[in-house]
Amino acid sequence: MLDRIKASLPSLAPAEQRVGKLVLTDPRAFANMPVSELADRAHVSKPTVIRFCRSVGYDGLSDFKLKLAGSVSEGVPFIHRSVDADDKTADIMVKVIDNAVAAFLKYRNDASTFAIDKAVTTLVQTYTQGKRIEFFGVGNSGVVAQDAQHKFFRLGVNTVAYSDGHMQVMSASMLGPGDCVVVISNSGRTRDLMDACDIARKNGATTIVITASGSPLAAAGHIHLSADHPEGFDRYSPMVSRLLHLLIIDILATAVALRIGGEKLQPRLQEMKNNLRNKRYA
């Protein structure tokens, strides 16, 4: 949680930055202070304290303080264990699994239910209006975009995934009001994705971005679902980030399916399963 606040500081307004620095200075004290005292110490207004909490992805001051208290006292510490050249197979296995599990537990503690609920509501509205939902990503994120398209088309959603920059720009140019594009990026700094996101937004489509806090892409979308982790990608292909993105897609797909309703989905999914049986050996 504190890592997310540090990453978000440069993108915040000056007054909100003062609130963020107050959190980082003494998170335990911040979690126990009333809003009036927090505002006085940061030299801001009380509404600014609440705006800061929402800017970094929480529902409000109460939600922020609850998550902050858990993070500094009983939260799961994220211990990122880098793989070394002389590691044995057993060491590699333990480190890779530990990194993935720690990232998932950290996300469970830090994730903004407000942002996720807003994204789910947008996706369901797009579905009910018969509009398009598209997924954009490149490299490892392109694989996640393909996985998202596979999950959502099974729900009867009119969807497609693109991992080519030219196709993303062309497709974004065809979107309009009521459509939705989900842009997935580890760094949040890929030029092709930024261009496609800007075009889609300019044309009236709703943009949901799954990326690191404080990145250019995080500020470019209508709805930001933060995917923060300490994984470096200078030595090995990103692993934790890809798994974290897949997890977020699973959360969105599950929530959308429940909103659509089992009465509508179950017969269609059962028919699909029956039709696939002859593709398998008995």
Q: Higher model confidence: residue 230 or residue 176?
A: 176
CATH of range 2-73; options 1.10.10.10, 3.40.50.10140, 3.40.50.620, 3.30.2130.10: 1.10.10.10
| Boundaries of every domain in the chain | 2-73, 77-110, 113-269
Q: Is the model's pLDDT at 73 over the cut of 60?
A: no
Q: Which CATH number fits domain 113-269: 3.40.1260.10, 3.40.50.10490, 3.40.50.1360, 3.90.79.10?
A: 3.40.50.10490
pLDDT single digits (tens) 194-232: 999 999 999 999 999 999 988 999 999 999 999 987 665
Going by pLDDT thresholds of 50, 70 and 90, the confidence category of residue 77 is very low
pLDDT at 166: 96
* pLDDT confidence of residue 76: 45
pTM of the model: 0.71
Q: Which range among 26-30, 131-135, 144-148 shows the weakest confidence by mean pLDDT?
A: 26-30
Mean pLDDT of 12-33: 90
Return mean pLDDT, the chain.
87
* The pLDDT of residue 72: 64
Query: DSSP letter string over the chain?
Result: -HHHHHHHGGGS-HHHHHHHHHHHH-HHHHHHS-HHHHHHHHTS-HHHHHHHHHHTT-SSHHHHHHHHHHHHHTSPP-------TT--HHHHHHHHHHHHHHHHHHHHHH--HHHHHHHHHHHHHHHHTT--EEEE--THHHHHHHHHHHHHHTTT--EEEE-SHHHHHHHHHH--TT-EEEEE-SSS--HHHHHHHHHHHHTT-EEEEEE-TTSHHHHHSSEEEE-------SSS---HHHHHHHHHHHHHHHHHHHHH-HHHHHHHHHHHHHHHGGGS--
pLDDT of residue 206: 98
